[in-house]
Amino acid sequence: MTHPRTVLVAGAGIGGLAASIGLANAGFRVLVFERDPVPDVSGAGIQLSPNATRALAKLGALEALAAKSVEPEELVVSNAINRALLATMPLGRTMREKFKSPYLVCLRADLYEALARIAADHPAIELRYGSMLEDFAAHSGGVSVKTERERKSEEIAGAALIGADGIRSAVRAKLHPGTGPRHGGMSAWRATIEGNLLPQEMRGKSQVRVWLGPGAHLVHYPVGDGSRINLVAVTMERQATESWGEEVPQEEVARRFAHWDAIPRAVIETAPQYRRWSLFEAPLLSAWGRGAVTLLGDAAHGMFPFVAQGAAAALEDAVVLAETLRSAEDTDSALRAYERIRTPRTQQIQSAARNIGRIYHLPMPLSFGRDLVMKRIGGAGLMRQNAWIYSG
């Protein structure tokens, strides 16, 4: 029998955990199925803009996370070939005052931990690691799912199924066959290093640094207690790799930046090795879900990371989903209402991320025009351009 207040969640990533907490706080019993036997917290650092920290505050996770995060003073964008300063956007107090929530940077593992701890301690949430969603069937009044754990199958009924199972979502594949992720022809190379390894000019700065070069860019910022630095370098790569987070020696990454200025090149050369992520985007869907089933996070709107919004959008989804379902009489209609709220905003963010990627990677001589515009609009212009994201 379907329990009217039981929601099933596929995936205990950032989105699945956040949704579980939101739904449990809204009075639901939540069962979360996570394929991995132990949480995968790979992926180094993450930026959390004010819209993300606002969602985290609503979920009760901000305070614990803020204690393990850095609140950088500014975001500095430079040309990676000639080192020209293009724009400086204030973060820190300016962000707090303007958007009523902080702009933080942290380790993904700390974000995961903050959410996982709340979920594990919540009496209404059951987290089942090593439990893979195999199949599901929606019917009038709810949904039945089939899961596999230690080679044993189980069937469970619930009032709704939330597919928070990432960019290669099985829930999405069944609802919308043929809409799997599209490779963007790019890879991200990630590493975390000790801050004292940075070139002298870059040490001890409370900054998110962005370096733009033809067909490539580099982002670095302090994480944890501020003594470690997260590096993300992005290059154009025709071929996607099968593995997620494959380890690669530094030389293989550094040779792609041989034509860059000595300082950003030296930053790249500090890491002994990198992990590689081929970058994918989820094609747009006109409707995310059907009946008692919906999607959340990357499963719904996987995006390129160039506006640092994938996890932020998943956190926003979670808050809206919980608010929409809280007092709903009819679950299916509430899920459609959630999708109507979230679809336009997430499509707009996906598109912004795509466009920013193109602008970041402009070849010469087009990059001269970009640099002129960036210098003219400066940090205030960047802030104006992104305000709709941060205030959402």
Chain residues binding ligand FAD by CB under 6 A are 10-16, 33-36, 40, 43, 46-47, 52, 132-133, 164-166, 170, 188, 190, 232, 277, 297-298, 305, 308-312, 314
Q: Which is nearer to ligand FAD, 257 or 371 (CB)?
A: 257
Choice between 87 and 133, CB closer to ligand FAD: 133
The nearest distance, CB 230 to ligand FAD, in angstroms, is 9
If the CB atoms of residues 31 and 46 are measured against ligand FAD, the closer one turns out to be 46
- Which CB sits closer to ligand FAD, 10 or 91? 10
Least Å distance, CB 49 to ligand FAD, is 7
Least separation in angstroms between CB 368 and ligand FAD: 28
Select from 235, 228, 264, 242 the least CA-distant residue to 109.
Answer: 228
Q: How far is the CB of 231 from ligand FAD (least distance, A)?
A: 11
**Closest to ligand FAD by CB, 80 or 295:** 295
Three-state DSSP string of the chain: CCCCCEEEEECCCHHHHHHHHHHHHCCCEEEEEECCCCCCCCCCEEEECHHHHHHHHHCCCHHHHHCCCECCCEEEEEECCCCCEEEEEECHHHHHHHHCCCCEEEEHHHHHHHHHHHHHHCCCEEEEECEEEEEEEEECCEEEEEEEECCEEEEEEECEEEECCCCCCHHHHHHCCCCCCEEEEEEEEEEEEEHHHCCHHHCCCCEEEEEEECCEEEEEEEECCCCEEEEEEEEECCCCCCCCCEEEEHHHHHHHHCCCCHHHHHHHHCCCEEEEEEEEECCCCCCCCECCEEECCHHHHCCCHHHCCHHHHHHHHHHHHHHHHHCCCCHHHHHHHHHHHHHHHHHHHHHHHHHHHHHHCCCCCHHHHHHHHHHHHHHHHHHHHHHHHHCC
**Identity of the residue, 111 or 292, whose beta carbon is nearer to ligand FAD in the bound complex:** 111
Instruction: Please state the closest distance from residue 304 (CB atom) to ligand FAD, in A.
Output: 8
Minimal distance, residue 171 CB to ligand FAD, in Å: 8
Residue 66 CB, nearest approach to ligand FAD (Å): 16
Q: How far apart are CA 92 and CA 89, in angstroms?
A: 10
Q: Determine the longest span between alpha carbons in the chain, in angstroms.
A: 66
* Of residues 309 and 331, the one with the C-beta less far from ligand FAD: 309
- In the complex with ligand FAD, the residue whose CB is nearer, 158 or 297, is 297
Q: Which is nearer to ligand FAD, 54 or 371 (CB)?
A: 54
Smallest distance, ligand FAD to C-beta of residue 163, A: 9
Residues in the chain: 392
Output the smallest distance, CB 222 to ligand FAD, in A. Answer: 14
Rounded (5°) CA angle 324-329-331: 60
